[in-house]
Amino acid sequence: MSKAYLNISRVDMDFTRNGVTNPVLRDINLDVMRGEFISLIGHSGCGKSTVLNIVAGLLKASAGGVIVDGKEVNAPGPDRALVFQNHSLLPWLTVYQNVEIAVEKTFRRTKSAAERREWILHNLEMVNMGHALERLPSEISGGMKQRVGIARALAMEPKVLLLDEPFGALDALTRAHLQDEVMRIQAELHNTVMMITHDVDEAVLLSDRIVMMTNGPSATIGQIMDVELPRPRDRIALADDARYNHYRHEVLSFLYEKQRKVEDIGSRRARARSGDAEKAAVRA
Ligand SMILES: Nc1ncnc2c1ncn2[C@@H]1O[C@H](COP(=O)(O)OP(=O)(O)OP(=O)(O)O)[C@@H](O)[C@H]1O
């Protein structure tokens, strides 16, 4: 049996629409250790969110399954908190209340009202949002909303934190700031994290391992790279670090050389199949 904290085993995923089956994922296998920070990277549409949604229990795999801390995933649960790119705060609730709603659900039976209040404040302080407790989402910036979303997820003390491009919608400076904050929190709490990103620098900076996915259809894991950079990591110092640049190069080469080729061959085949063989030969 696998000793992994999170185990994805032989996962296939097909979506069927109007009688046409789209084979999105094939044979996804991944073991994630407790406290590990994993990034999932791959071209748009390859199936990264589908993998995350299967782990979250929002989608059921067509084949294979997911085990978290010895239990099979069959439905969403507070042991797996999901943070999306577009902060999903309830607009009519304050910052405090948005976290409170998750804390009430998770700890209603195990913490007293005073403990719950302290816990909400602690998590909002952790993401530096303690000063804006009474504000509504419409009264704070995108970066601040994302912080509250992260505080809400952390406040559930999930076994696994699932981040779907959590910084994707932010400007570069806010993004860098939040990445540093997530690294600091991760160092303190040792969460097990699975994060989707399109940003190669973000993947290298934050991850213990980077999981690179091949292009769809029938996407699978093409390569897994260990990022053996010491922590804490400093983005400025790393900019001139040869190992950092090597890791960056590896991911870029996977995405834009290895996977680019597959795409070209695929489209050439498609053109040839559609009778446009001559055009395909010219472009080859
Ligand atoms: N609920 C669904 N029903 C039908 N097809 C779906 C569904 N969800 C995703 N797909 C299809 O599965 C494929 C993978 O989508 P997914 O969102 O997982 O990719 P992704 O790698 O996360 O993309 P991006 O990087 O653009 O967010 C796409 O072809 C998409 O159209």
> What is the C-alpha separation between 92 and 162, in angstroms, rounded?
25
Question: What separation, in Å, do the N-terminal and C-terminal C-alpha atoms of the chain show?
Answer: 47
Q: What percent of the chain has pLDDT over 70?
A: 90
pLDDT for 169: 81
Least confident of 110-114, 173-177, 262-266: 262-266
Compute φ and ψ for 220, nearest 5 degrees.
-145, 180
The residue-averaged pLDDT of 141-156 equals 92
Quick one: three-class SS letters along 114-174?
Answer: HHHHHHHHHHHHHCCCHHHCCCCHHHCCHHHHHHHHHHHHHHCCCCEEEEECCCCCCCHHH
Least confident of 87-96, 107-116, 147-156, 257-266: 257-266
Residue type, 282: V
pLDDT for 86: 74
Of 16, 17, 24, the residue with max ligand 1 atoms within 8 A of its CB, to mutate for a pocket test, comes to 24
Reported as a pLDDT band with limits 50, 70 and 90, residue 55 is very high
Residue type, 163: L
- Asked whether the predicted pLDDT for residue 272 surpasses 80, the reply is no
Please give the ipTM for the structure prediction.
Answer: 0.98
| Fold that domain 6-79+158-283 belongs to in CATH | Rossmann fold (3.40.50)
**What token pair was written down for 234?**
């400093």
Distance in Å, CA 268 to ligand 1 centroid: 23
The residue-averaged pLDDT of 148-160 equals 92
pLDDT for 224: 98
Reported as a pLDDT band with limits 50, 70 and 90, residue 2 is low
Q: What is the residue extent of each domain of the chain?
A: 6-79+158-283, 80-157
pLDDT for 196: 97
pLDDT higher for 236 or 271?
Answer: 236
Side-chain half-sphere CA neighbours of 90 within 13 A: 11
- Asked whether the predicted pLDDT for residue 146 surpasses 50, the reply is yes
- Asked whether the predicted pLDDT for residue 281 surpasses 60, the reply is no
CA-closest residue to ligand 1 atom 6: 15
> How big is the CA angle at 246 (ends 241 and 247), to the nearest 5 degrees?
100
pLDDT for 234: 95
Residue type, 97: Q
Q: What percent of the chain has pLDDT over 90?
A: 77
- Asked whether the predicted pLDDT for residue 191 surpasses 50, the reply is yes
- Asked whether the predicted pLDDT for residue 19 surpasses 70, the reply is yes
CA-closest residue to ligand 1 atom 25: 44
> What is the C-alpha separation between 281 and 284, in angstroms, rounded?
5
Reported as a pLDDT band with limits 50, 70 and 90, residue 260 is confident
Reported as a pLDDT band with limits 50, 70 and 90, residue 282 is very low
Ligand 1 contacts CB of residue 166 (under 6 A) = no
Which of 162-171, 201-210, 257-266 is predicted most confidently?
201-210
Of 13, 15, 196, the residue with max ligand 1 atoms within 8 A of its CB, to mutate for a pocket test, comes to 15
Tokens 């080469």 belong to: 253
Q: Which atom of ligand 1 is nearest to the CA of 196?
A: 22
Ligand 1 contacts CB of residue 197 (under 6 A) = no
pLDDT for 54: 97
